[in-house]
């Protein structure tokens, strides 16, 4: 028996070799006919068959033909940047060297995001932009994510060096719930935030194959969100991109020492991929970034109470006793000093006549705050790890098991500034994909780590070293003494602050660190500043192409998904002290595409239905048509709809921020605050002397209907690509917030809300009855010169229409922005030198947020890089600069001033 077992084992080990011997093998090497260099990652397929492979980084390939293949056969070679080449092969063996001719890629790139099926970008029925492998390699941006800024119509808000938020067509902000980011089919949002955290978690630069940006509404195919656009980030296939690759990028920041001392910048990436055999391949990726973050240092005075919440006003700490600096923290604590002075009058009646004369009008005083530099960790760190196992179950079906995990320190701007320390997020998926169908399941696991609310923490820190009762008592006594001694008001306030601040810990001192660390490590629910967020997302989706069932007369695509959020902040962010809160969403879609007159006209219609367990279902249709007026010249027109279920925070947040408590808008939250028993009053009306009960209608998803007309075409012997669009968007049930006041008394009375001591301010999300209209346009030109030089430029504009006075929309978009790029992927001897120069400009615009409202100044930025290829060692050296002229600018209020970043990089086997 043992002998038979050994024989079976031996046969199992020999079987792959026996099967291999029965197959025929064709091998060869591909070179660029222009420069003679090897071409990697070229697709090599058997025409009218399923067999295929890719060239390695030296241009070599080995294609195993199925047993029974009869010669002659035709091999098809294809790669972006080279013409499609077919070669007839008479027999198996080595074909030696094959040369491929370079060709223009303008308009030839294939995109998936527009219709969920491969489509030439020039034939896309909607506005879409693509950044391919070559563009990413030649980028001047230190972070590949920043490349999206060069695309038309794109805005980006930088809360910090690594926390960046992309959007299109307005409504920009730090964290955008109206924009969807998808990485290898997975929604890349942080589940507890409902928006992407930029490139903190996701692909390392060396593993990014392409980025596709679809502007405008996209809910019909991608579900809730995507009202203003969708970004798809696609990774490299280990079957196609093999071998060891690494990139070391070192640089310098803060070179002028204006906000921080000059400091180094490190950004290192590693990737290894291996095709074990024709069915099995894997890849491993990692990346680490370390730097001193940009600094938010806006010291303008901001009003934090009443209807003027967030308004920028005059005053400094020296001129305004109630000063609240935009990027100062702890000074949000404020009271009317008259309360203290009247208390002194009660204890010392002989002073009452004088005190009565100086307390006739409010005398607001705030605690002394600390700058962001003093209370946030400047060390930005981002570490990423990823891996994937690809197995071809058959020639038509592939199984993928992948995981991505990242951690880091960064800063985020929301209703306050948040210091995210040791933030962690992982995404893990299992996928089966076929040319006709796909099944995918994935989960996103989030952990806020040691993150804390900077405002809350610093206010509590002030209470820790000296509580406000003591501080204001000392302040009031000193203020009164100074006035009695003949000081003027400003002098008296200055003297009083100096007395009250005796014992105030110096930032960075042992005492400061001890108290601050103690507060920041204690959860908000237990009187600290730390917020806990271990919210998770679980999702499954499938898609099937039914076109073959109708003999390809009509392209029919159907699909569906289900996902479940499990909120878990332990009462620090959400109203989940009693336990985790589940939220379930599900949806299904169908899309049909039909061409007429040999595809001169092509129509696309799609529809999607989605349901959230807290809201009624929504149906979102989309229709588009594309007309080919000449070869590679197309007009397009589309009607698109999109919707967004309120974010998990808009549903269940429960957080004291600044001068108000942010709460969710679902019925459970209103019941929690007993709104039906303890009425709420509109704060704006109250400030005008009216006691008006605030009525709340049904809380609903917001929606948009978008109309677009566009053109994309090749001209000048296919050397010039032009793309243009004009659109209008109509938003309804727009989600905004209303400030209300509510009594804090055990037996509420309407008059309670007239006094700050017996009321609280709530910020509640509601649907606005006002319809918001937007319009805009964009245009881009790209020209390819001889010898590989290229010049491109774009301009775009987004505007609001017919907005009532005083209505807050958070539109936050410049009326005009431009980009100009000039570069070359390779010129000179052996085409070894490359360069890229980018100039960006945008107009000033009004910025609105829960934190501050004001103007973001216009700015222009110059980025540049020059690179040298070293073919013998398969390497490239790059010298680059972001914001070459080091002219500081901000992208949003309360966000950091961004200066120059200068770097040099060495990359090995960068393909």
Question: pLDDT tens, 474-489?
Answer: 999 999 999 999 999 9
- Mean pLDDT is lowest, of 96-100, 292-296, 428-432, 707-711, for 96-100
- Mean pLDDT is lowest, of 28-42, 126-140, 269-283, 692-706, for 28-42
pLDDT of 330 > 90? The answer is yes
Q: b or e along 470-494 (b: 16 or more beta carbons within 10 Å of the residue's beta carbon)?
A: ebbebbbbbbbebbeeebeeeebbb
Question: pLDDT tens, 247-265?
Answer: 999 999 999 999 999 999 9
Residues 813 and 758: beta-carbon distance below 8 Å:
no
Q: Could you tell me the pLDDT band of residue 51, with boundaries at 50, 70 and 90?
A: confident
Q: What burial class does residue 11 get, using C-beta atoms within 10 Å of its C-beta: 0-12 exposed, 13-18 middle, 19+ buried?
A: exposed
User: What ranges do the domains of the chain cover?
Assistant: 19-100, 301-374+455-526
Tokens of 488: 């003027």
DSSP annotation string for 239-301: TTS-EEEEEEEEEEE-TT-SSS--EEEEEEEEEEEEE-SSSEEEEEEEEEEEEEPPB-----E
What is the three-class DSSP state of 398? strand
Residues 329 and 369: beta-carbon distance below 8 Å:
yes
pLDDT for position 383: 97
CA angle 897, 903, 906 (to 5 degrees): 150
Between 812 and 42, the more confident residue is 812
Question: pLDDT tens, 494-521?
Answer: 999 999 999 999 999 999 999 999 999 9
| Nearest CA-CA partner of 763 in 334, 509, 315, 414 | 414
Element containing residue 339 per DSSP (H, E): helix 338-347
Question: pLDDT tens, 422-462?
Answer: 999 999 999 999 989 999 999 999 999 999 999 999 999 99
Q: Could you tell me the pLDDT band of residue 113, with boundaries at 50, 70 and 90?
A: low
pLDDT for position 10: 41
Over residues 295-300, the mean pLDDT reads: 96
Over residues 824-845, the mean pLDDT reads: 92
**Averaged confidence pLDDT in the chain:** 90
Tokens of 829: 């001897």
Tokens of 36: 């003679």
pLDDT for position 301: 95
DSSP annotation string for 766-791: EE-SSPEEEEEEEEEEEEE-GGGEEE
pLDDT of 3 > 60? The answer is no
Over residues 701-721, the mean pLDDT reads: 94
Question: pLDDT tens, 186-223?
Answer: 999 999 988 888 778 889 999 999 999 999 888 777 88
pLDDT for position 305: 66
Q: b or e along 551-581 (b: 16 or more beta carbons within 10 Å of the residue's beta carbon)?
A: eeeebbbebbbbbbbbbbbbbbbbbbeeeeb
pLDDT for position 50: 65
pLDDT for position 307: 58
- Mean pLDDT is lowest, of 219-223, 544-548, 559-563, for 219-223
Over residues 898-902, the mean pLDDT reads: 98
Over residues 3-21, the mean pLDDT reads: 42
pLDDT of 4 > 70? The answer is no
Over residues 747-770, the mean pLDDT reads: 88
What is the three-class DSSP state of 850? coil
Question: pLDDT tens, 377-403?
Answer: 999 999 999 999 999 999 889 999 999
- In the block, tokens 């047993």 appear at 67
Q: What burial class does residue 875 get, using C-beta atoms within 10 Å of its C-beta: 0-12 exposed, 13-18 middle, 19+ buried?
A: middle
**Best mean pLDDT range from 10-24, 93-107, 557-571:** 557-571
pTM, 2 dp: 0.88
Tokens of 432: 């089966």
pLDDT for position 21: 42
Q: Could you tell me the pLDDT band of residue 595, with boundaries at 50, 70 and 90?
A: very high
**Interatomic CA distance for residues 128 and 214, integer angstroms:** 4
**Interatomic CA distance for residues 411 and 291, integer angstroms:** 13
Residues 150 and 840: beta-carbon distance below 8 Å:
yes
pLDDT for position 67: 76
pLDDT of 1 > 60? The answer is no
pLDDT of 12 > 50? The answer is no
- CA distances, 35 to each of 30, 454, 508, 821, 827 (Å): 12, 56, 58, 25, 10
Report phi then psi at 432, rounded to 5: -120, 125
Report phi then psi at 409, rounded to 5: -115, 135
Residues 626 and 635: beta-carbon distance below 8 Å:
yes
Question: pLDDT tens, 847-886?
Answer: 998 788 999 999 999 999 999 999 888 899 999 999 999 9
Helices (H) and strands (E) in the chain, counts: 13, 54
Superfamily of domain 19-100: Carboxypeptidase-like, regulatory domain (2.60.40.1120)
pLDDT for position 14: 39
Q: What burial class does residue 118 get, using C-beta atoms within 10 Å of its C-beta: 0-12 exposed, 13-18 middle, 19+ buried?
A: exposed
- In the block, tokens 């932009």 appear at 129
pLDDT for position 5: 47
Tokens of 231: 């970004």
Question: pLDDT tens, 23-33?
Answer: 688 899 988 87
Over residues 723-738, the mean pLDDT reads: 92
Residues 623 and 724: beta-carbon distance below 8 Å:
no
Q: What is the 3-state secondary structure (H, E, C) of 112-126?
A: CCCCCCCEEHHHCCC
Residues 608 and 223: beta-carbon distance below 8 Å:
yes
**Interatomic CA distance for residues 51 and 525, integer angstroms:** 60
Report phi then psi at 612, rounded to 5: -115, 140
Over residues 315-320, the mean pLDDT reads: 93
């Amino acid at each position: 028996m043992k002998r038979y077992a050994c024989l079976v084992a031996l046969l199992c080990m020999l079987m792959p070799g026996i099967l291999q011997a029965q197959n025929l093998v064709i091998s060869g090497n591909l070179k660029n006919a222009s420069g003679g260099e090897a071409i990697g990652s070229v697709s090599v397929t058997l025409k009218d068959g399923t067999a295929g492979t890719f060239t390695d980084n030296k241009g070599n390939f080995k294609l195993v033909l199925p047993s029974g293949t009869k010669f002659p056969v035709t091999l098809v070679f294809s790669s972006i940047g080279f013409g499609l080449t077919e070669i007839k092969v008479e027999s198996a063996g080595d074909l030696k060297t094959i040369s491929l001719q370079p060709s223009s890629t303008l308009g030839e790139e294939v995109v998936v995001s527009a219709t969920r099926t491969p489509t030439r970008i020039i034939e896309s029925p909607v506005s879409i932009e693509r950044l391919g492998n070559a563009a990413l390699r030649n980028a001047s941006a230190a972070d590949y994510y920043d490349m999206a800024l060069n695309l038309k119509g794109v805005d980006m808000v930088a809360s910090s060096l690594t926390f960046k938020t992309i959007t299109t067509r307005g409504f920009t902000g730090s964290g955008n719930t109206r924009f969807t980011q998808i990485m290898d089919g997975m929604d890349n949002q942080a589940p507890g935030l409902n928006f992407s955290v930029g490139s903190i978690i996701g692909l390392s630069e060396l593993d990014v194959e392409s980025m596709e940006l679809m502007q405008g509404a996209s809910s019909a195919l991608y579900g809730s969100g995507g009202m203003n656009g969708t970004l798809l980030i696609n990774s490299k296939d280990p079957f196609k991109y093999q071998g060891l690759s690494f990139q070391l990028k070192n640089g310098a920041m803060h070179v002028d020492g204006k906000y921080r001392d000059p400091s180094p910048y490190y950004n290192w990436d590693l990737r290894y991929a291996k095709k074990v055999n024709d069915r099995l391949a894997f890849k491993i990726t990692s990346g680490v970034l370390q730097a001193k973050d940009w600094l938010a240092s806006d010291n303008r005075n901001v009003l934090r109470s009443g209807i003027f919440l967030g308004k920028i006003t005059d005053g400094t700490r020296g001129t305004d006793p109630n000063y609240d600096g935009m990027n100062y923290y702890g000074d949000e604590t404020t009271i009317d000093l008259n309360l203290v002075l009247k208390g002194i009058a009660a204890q010392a009646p002989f002073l009452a006549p004088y005190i009565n004369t100086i307390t006739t009008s409010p005398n607001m005083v705030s605690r002394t705050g600390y700058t962001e530099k003093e209370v946030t960790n400047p060390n930005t760190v981002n570490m990423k790890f990823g891996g994937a196992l690809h197995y071809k179950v058959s020639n038509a079906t592939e199984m993928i098991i992948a995981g991505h995990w990242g951690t880091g320190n960064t800063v985020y701007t929301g209703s306050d500034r948040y210091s995210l320390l040791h933030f962690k997020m992982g995404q893990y998926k299992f996928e089966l994909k076929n040319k006709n169908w796909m099944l995918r399941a994935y989960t996103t696991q989030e952990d806020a780590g040691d993150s804390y609310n900077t405002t809350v923490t610093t206010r509590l820190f002030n209470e820790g070293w000296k509580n406000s009762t003591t501080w204001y008592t000392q302040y009031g006594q000193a203020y009164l003494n100074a006035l009695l001694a003949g000081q003027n008001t400003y002098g008296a306030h200055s003297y009083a602050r100096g007395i009250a601040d005796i014992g105030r810990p110096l930032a960075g001192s042992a005492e400061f660190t001890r108290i601050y660390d103690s507060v920041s490590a204690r959860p908000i629910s237990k009187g600290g500043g730390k917020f806990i967020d271990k919210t998770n997302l679980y999702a499954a989706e499938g898609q099937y192409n039914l076109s073959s069932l109708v003999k390809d007369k009509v392209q029919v695509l159907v699909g569906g998904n289900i996902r479940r959020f499990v909120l878990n902040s332990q009462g620090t962010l959400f109203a989940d002290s009693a336990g985790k809160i589940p939220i379930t969403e599900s949806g299904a879609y169908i899309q049909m595409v039909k061409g007429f007159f040999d595809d001169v006209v092509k129509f696309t219609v799609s529809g999607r239905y989605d349901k959230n367990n807290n809201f009624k279902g929504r149906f979102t249709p989309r229709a588009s048509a594309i007309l080919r007026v000449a070869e590679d010249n197309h007009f397009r027109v589309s009607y698109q709809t999109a919707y967004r279920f309120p974010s998990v925070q808009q549903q269940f947040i429960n957080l004291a921020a600044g001068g108000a408590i942010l709460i969710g808008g679902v019925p459970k939250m209103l019941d929690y605050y007993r709104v039906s028993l303890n009425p709420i009053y509109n704060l704006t009306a109250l400030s005008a002397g009216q006691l008006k009960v605030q009525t709340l209608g049904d809380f609903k998803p917001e929606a948009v209907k978008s109309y677009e007309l566009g053109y994309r075409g090749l001209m000048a012997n296919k050397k010039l690509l032009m793309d243009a669009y004009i659109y209008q968007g109509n938003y309804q049930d727009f989600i905004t917030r209303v400030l209300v006041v509510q009594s804090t008394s055990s037996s509420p009375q309407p008059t309670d809300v007239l006094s700050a001591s017996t009321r609280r301010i709530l910020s509640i999300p509601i649907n606005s009855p006002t319809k918001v209209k937007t319009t805009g346009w964009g245009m881009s030109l790209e020209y390819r010169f001889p010898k590989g030089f290229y010049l491109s430029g774009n301009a775009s504009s987004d505007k609001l229409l017919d907005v009532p006075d005083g209505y807050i929309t958070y539109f936050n978009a410049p009326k005009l922005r431009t980009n100009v790029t000039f570069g070359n992927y390779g010129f000179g001897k052996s085409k070894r030198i490359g360069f890229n120069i980018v100039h960006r400009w945008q107009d000033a615009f009004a910025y609105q947020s829960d934190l501050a409202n004001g103007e973001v100044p216009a700015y222009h930025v110059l980025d540049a890089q020059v690179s040298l290829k070293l073919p013998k060692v398969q390497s490239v050296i790059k010298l680059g600069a972001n914001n070459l002229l080091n002219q500081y600018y901000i992208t949003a209020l309360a966000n950091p001033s961004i200066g120059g970043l200068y770097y040099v990089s060495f990359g090995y086997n960068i393909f």
